[in-house]
Amino acid sequence: MKKLRIFYKAALFTLWCILIVPLQWMTLQFTGGKGAYTLPYFWHNRICRIFGLKAIVEGTPMHDRQTLFVCNHVSYLDIPVMASVLRASFVAKKEVAGWPVFGTLARLQQTAFISRSRNDAQKEKNALTTMLDSGKSVILFPEGTSTDGRDVVPFKSSLFSMTLDGNRKGMLIQPVTLVVESVDGRSAEDQSVRDLYAWYGDMTMPPHLNGFTASKGAVIRLVFHAPIDPAAYEDRKTLADDCWRIVQSGLGQQKLAGGLAA
């Protein structure tokens, strides 16, 4: 049964890519504006349906203003979950660009790739600045790594400096907490169950993706907190720390709710 489920989902994924990827590539030849997010939005929604990913939205996502969405990071599966709700570009580490299939899909999503190398840092910072100057909203995972989903690693503050640029007035920051509620129809309070979705540490992608594909999917709660005006801050470190505390509080609320329910 599980092998049949894997084959079925893989076949649907391949067919959906064959249909959408060429269309999105052609779209990007003519426009890189907001219209270029339409196909990826529908693509990610269908991918979530194929793999059984259900996003429950709590709060109000910002759609009518340029926004930097900052979210905790649990898995590569966070990408379709977030992109099924938001029409925005991602910021990803440079290594993602070289991943088979996923690297191509990331480029078609207009992802900004960031390197840890000082030699590349300024060029890539300029590319991200150009993206923000064009008015695009961006999704950032400022922990700089993925975790087991039980806590939030303190945020790296470097990219928060771009929201403090005086030429980018009106841009908001919206903290988002990603909560893994259930996987394969079972409560994610059990870490072994959560690990069917969570991808971190020394886990390798092929066996992990295979294991998740064999499952019934996952329910993910996206808690959209009240937006923050970065103009109220004088330094990026304080801004990053405040965003981190807000995102972490979303996990704390879910733990409290679970405890009360027990």
Q: Are strands 218-224 and 112-114 parallel, antiparallel or unpaired?
A: unpaired
Which residues are registered as beta bridge partners of 53? 218
Q: Please say if the pLDDT value at position 255 is more than 80.
A: no
Distance CA 136, CA 86 (A): 12
- Do residues 254 and 219 lie in contact, with contact meaning Cβ atoms separated by under 8 Å? no
Question: Residue 254 has what pLDDT?
Answer: 53
Rg (CA), the chain: 18
The token pair at 147 is 């975790």
Please tell me the CATH code under which domain 2-261 is placed. Answer: 3.40.1130
pLDDT tens-place string over residues 77-86: 999 999 999 9
More confident residue, 204 or 256: 204
The 8-class DSSP code of residue 231 comes to G
In this predicted model, what pLDDT tens digit does every residue of 103-119 receive, in sequence order?
A: 778 878 878 777 766 55
pLDDT in tens, 172-228: 999 999 999 999 999 999 999 999 999 999 999 999 999 999 999 999 999 999 999
Q: How far apart are CA 31 and CA 160, in angstroms?
A: 27
Instruction: Fill in the amino acid letter for 239.
Output: L
46-97: pLDDT as tens digits:
999 999 999 999 999 999 899 999 999 999 999 999 999 999 989 887 777 7
pLDDT, tens digit, 9 for 90 and up, residues 136-161:
899 999 998 999 999 999 999 988 88
Rounded-to-integer distance, Cα 157 and Cα 183, Å: 32
| pTM, two decimal places | 0.89
Nearest C-alpha neighbor of 114 from the set 131, 96, 133: 96
Q: Is the pLDDT of residue 125 over 70?
A: no
What is the domain partition of the chain in residue ranges? Answer: 2-261
